[in-house]
């Protein structure tokens, strides 16, 4: 019975949310369509403002990967990471996840293809995807959109949080799936 209820709720959630938003706006005498169009225009102008930061970040990631710098970092850090009993196959994910969501997704796909989607490595990589953030992307896009030049401790805090999430993902995945 519960699966049927969950399926019905999941199918109705978005339509009910839309009806709720429109109803709330109408109850407050807000022109919902006009507000939506204004928000879309603001979103478009924000997108235009962040394009330079976004392009710079994508170029930097491409240079980092294609220059071999990522491979060098992986070779340097693999022995250190193995001390913490983290499989060496996950090192590329640890370095890619803060840089690029699509790059990390590619690594996850590669692990699932090579070791099987049900393997501990693929499951760990999947949990890593959900327990960390594309920190450099977030900083480039969000700070770029509001023209913040001095990021202070945001990068360090983001990378520390990523590291905590990535390492926790390894141990929690082992706890649940091993």
Instruction: State whether residue 107 is helix, strand or coil.
Output: helix
Residue 100's domain comprises 52-177
Tell me, yes or no, whether 70 lies in a domain.
yes
Tell me, yes or no, whether 6 lies in a domain.
no
**Is pLDDT at 162 greater than 90 in this prediction?**
yes
Identify the pLDDT of residue 75. 87
Tell me, yes or no, whether 88 lies in a domain.
yes
* DSSP E strand stretches across the chain: none
Identify the pLDDT of residue 36. 92
For residue 74, give the nearest of 44, 95, 52, 102 by alpha carbon.
Answer: 95
Identify the pLDDT of residue 37. 94
- Two structure tokens written together for 178: 């091993």
Tell me, yes or no, whether 9 lies in a domain.
no
Tell me, yes or no, whether 151 lies in a domain.
yes
For range 14-33, the mean pLDDT: 94
Q: pLDDT tens, 34-84? A: 999 999 999 898 888 878 877 887 788 778 878 988 889 888 988 888 888
Q: Taking a C-beta distance cutoff of 8 angstroms, is the pair 89, 124 a contact?
A: no
pTM: 0.67
Instruction: State whether residue 99 is helix, strand or coil.
Output: coil
Identify the pLDDT of residue 174. 92
Q: pLDDT tens, 106-136? A: 889 999 999 999 999 999 999 999 999 999 8
Tell me, yes or no, whether 105 lies in a domain.
yes
For range 147-173, the mean pLDDT: 89
Instruction: State whether residue 37 is helix, strand or coil.
Output: helix
What lies within 8 Å, CB to CB, of 99 at 6+ separation is 61, 64, 134, 136, 137
Number of domains forming the structure of the chain: 1
Tell me, yes or no, whether 116 lies in a domain.
yes
Spatial separation of the C-alpha atoms in residues 98 and 100, rounded to whole Å: 6
Tell me, yes or no, whether 7 lies in a domain.
no
Spatial separation of the C-alpha atoms in residues 165 and 162, rounded to whole Å: 5
């Amino acid at each position: 019975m519960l699966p049927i209820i969950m399926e019905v709720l999941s199918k109705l959630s978005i339509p009910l949310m839309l009806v709720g938003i429109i109803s709330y706006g109408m109850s407050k005498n807000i022109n919902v369509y006009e507000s939506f169009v204004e928000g879309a225009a603001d979103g478009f102008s924000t997108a235009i403002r962040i394009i330079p930061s976004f392009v710079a970040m994508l170029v930097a990631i491409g240079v980092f990967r294609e220059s071999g710098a990522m491979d060098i970092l992986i070779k340097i850090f693999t022995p250190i990471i193995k001390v913490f009993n983290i499989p060496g196959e996950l090192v590329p994910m640890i370095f890619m996840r803060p840089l690029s969501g699509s790059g990390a997704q590619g690594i996850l796909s590669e692990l699932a293809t090579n070791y099987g989607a049900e393997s501990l490595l693929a499951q760990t990589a999947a949990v890593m995807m959900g327990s960390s953030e594309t920190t450099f992307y977030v900083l480039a896009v969000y700070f770029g959109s509001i023209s913040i030049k001095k990021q202070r401790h945001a990068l360090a805090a983001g990378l520390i949080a990523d590291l905590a999430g990535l390492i926790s993902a390894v141990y929690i995945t082992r706890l649940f799936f091993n």
